[in-house]
Structure 1
Amino acid sequence: MKQITLGSTGIQTPQNAFGALPIQRVSTEEAVKILHRAYEGGMTFFDTARAYSDSEEKMGEAFGHMRNKIYIATKTAATTPDEFWRQLETSLHLLRTDYLDLYQFHCVNQCYRPEDGTGMYECMLKAKEQGMIRHIGVTAHKIGIAEECVASGLYETMQFPFSYLSSVQELHLVEACSRQNMGFIAMKGLAGGLIHNSKAAMAYMTQFDNVLPIWGIQKISELEEWLSYMENTPSMDEEISAYIEKEKLELTGDFCRGCGYCMPCPAGIMINQCARMSLMLRRAPSAGWLTPQMQEEMKKIENCLECGQCIKKCPYELNTPELLKKNYEDYKKVLAGEVSVN
């Protein structure tokens, strides 16, 4: 596994990092066990966020006694200076540390700049001056906002969804970061669960010297799969390249990544599952998708208000109501036995 340097931060770490969003779904005991094993297996970069419920607290429990051995990145979704400082103090307390290696504006809808009237970038500068944070980063889901942040030269890292299903525009974003000596942190490397071949996913990332993938992990079995690549790192050979090209043909165009930023839905629709049901039925076959409970969830699509809230919230700018309708029609055909998903 090659070591990469995360842009101008100087942070050097294996190109195989830990995304700590999923550990909010397991017990503290299990989370600590997973985090310790990740470190023992060679991972040194751990990414979390204030928004991930108790993820920071669990990381603090795991690493509070060995702070200097790892890199910690977290995020703030604050939009006012007062909230910025409250969230930063909370993160430091829960992570049991007096500094963060990387502090990121979380899922921004604008590129914060000095003297833009918000005071947000000035907060980052002050926190860095006081030694509370060491590097300033940003995360985004909308490509236009991400491009603006990169072009600004104000940030040391960009975190953005990136996988072998990414578009040419997203590849250009990675290249722009490289030219700016800006670290690129790849989230959603498995495209929200649509990619099942971890070997292909890892091989794809190794092509980029400035990309650090953070894999969302909540089970030891998942972790061991990623750790196995520390010694036996897959590379883009002909077989994997052909496999990825086949995947791209199946998953090109608009599809829901399941991020959930569109929720809650005023009509109570479970958008992050229902809007991609057709893909899940075929790529992750499970009797659970066809249970009476899930049928009731899908039926809620009939009550869509066409309010457009989900369209406005979608970071991928999808026509979500239209996706919901298409998935519902396909779902009904599967239930009726008109379409086979085996």
Structure 2
Amino acid sequence: MKDVTLGTTGITVVQNGFGALPIQRISKEAAVRLLRQAYAGGMRFFDTARAYSDSEEKIGAAFADLDRSTYVLATKTMAKTPDEFWDQLETSLRLLQTDYIDIYQFHCASQMYKPGDGSGMYEAMLEAKRLGKIRHIGITAHKLGVAQEAIESGLYETLQFPMSYLSSEKEQALIAACRDREMGFIAMKGLAGGLINQSVPAMAFMQQFDNVVPIWGVQKESELQEWLAFMDDTPIMTGQTAAFIAKERAEMAGSFCRGCGYCMPCPVGIEINQCARMSLMVRRAPSESWLDSHWQQEMAKIKNCLHCNQCASKCPYELDTPRLLEENLKDYEAILAGEVQV
């Protein structure tokens, strides 16, 4: 496992970060134990967000007695006003039990804040940095245009963006653009929202880039041990792995719903972020759980689609979501009828 420096921040960490979104789902005791095991195993980059309920609190409990200089904290704010910004920042500092945040990020930005835009948001970041409450300014985005604008602006020190071996060439081009601008790249959704179910090719893909720190969402000890094993025995891109990735892309990339949920809510209650990728889920996970009465009822809601296109307009990947829903329902009904085997 190699070390990666995040652009001009000077932050250098091992290329295997901890994504703390999933620890919302486990107890505080279990989360503290998991985080300490991650640290003991060599992980040094921990990414969370104010929006992740009690994730920050759990990290604070796990690391409060450690030397603060030995680990890196990145968190995020979804604030829309300077007042909200300062409230969320102070809350994050208190819960994380720290005097400063290494990288503070605008979370899932729908626009690129900049000085003089009238929002006061970028100015708040600058003031927080001047006061020493944060050390570096970052942005996370799901929309390609926002990410490209942030890179070109020179205003941000890091970009966090979904990146996996299913990502398009345009998405992967962001990595090179960040390198050219000496901007750190933090890769989220390295397992494509759960569609990628093998860690070896996922890590081998990331290992190709010398400026990318991937953050792996972890909530189980078994998952953590898998990533920690790569510290000493890191997968590399072989011909066999490349062929496997090419096959995966051919099967999924064309209608690849990431399951991010930014299309939600649906006016008629369709659980779009699951239903629009059901064909993939029933083939890539134990199918029984996706074919039970609950999901049959959820998939049936697709028949009530209004074709209002609200979901498509909000999709950061510009997918034709109503079409995907219809195709997934047709496939799902064929599976239930025994016409298609999974």
TM-score of the pair, normalised by structure 1: 0.98
In the other structure, the counterpart of 2:187 is: 186
Equivalent-residue separation in structure 2 for 1:262 and 1:172 (angstroms): 25
Q: Does 1:172 align with 2:173?
A: yes
Displacement of 1:69 in angstroms is 2.1
Q: Which amino acid aligns with 2:122?
A: Y
Q: Secondary structure of 2:263's partner?
A: coil
In the other structure, the counterpart of 1:247 is: 248
In the other structure, the counterpart of 2:9 is: 9
Deviation per residue, 1:210-246 (Å, 9 max, x gap): 0000001110000000000000011111111111111
Return 5+ residue gaps in structure 2 as ranges. Answer: none
Q: CA RMSD in A?
A: 0.9
Equivalent-residue separation in structure 2 for 1:156 and 1:303 (angstroms): 45
Deviation per residue, 1:100-130 (Å, 9 max, x gap): 0000001111111111111110000000000
Equivalent-residue separation in structure 1 for 2:201 and 2:294 (angstroms): 34
Q: Secondary structure of 1:101's partner?
A: strand
Q: Secondary structure of 2:319's partner?
A: coil
Equivalent-residue separation in structure 1 for 2:166 and 2:80 (angstroms): 31
Q: Does 1:64 align with 2:68?
A: no
Displacement of 1:53 in angstroms is 0.9
Q: Secondary structure of 1:184's partner?
A: strand
Equivalent-residue separation in structure 2 for 1:55 and 1:271 (angstroms): 26
Q: Secondary structure of 1:135's partner?
A: strand
In the other structure, the counterpart of 2:161 is: 160
Deviation per residue, 1:22-64 (Å, 9 max, x gap): 0001111111111000000000000000111111111111112
In the other structure, the counterpart of 1:140 is: 141
Displacement of 1:271 in angstroms is 1.1
Return 5+ residue gaps in structure 1 as ranges. Answer: none
In the other structure, the counterpart of 1:236 is: 237
In the other structure, the counterpart of 1:213 is: 214
Equivalent-residue separation in structure 2 for 1:231 and 1:293 (angstroms): 43
Equivalent-residue separation in structure 1 for 2:75 and 2:287 (angstroms): 34
Superposition pairs for residues 1-342 of structure 1, below 5 Å? 1-66=1-66, 67-341=68-342
Equivalent-residue separation in structure 1 for 2:181 and 2:279 (angstroms): 40
Deviation per residue, 1:261-306 (Å, 9 max, x gap): 1122221111111110000111123211111111111111111222
Equivalent-residue separation in structure 1 for 2:172 and 2:262 (angstroms): 23
Displacement of 1:254 in angstroms is 2.6
Q: Which amino acid aligns with 2:338?
A: G
Q: How many residues are treated as equivalent by the alignment?
A: 341
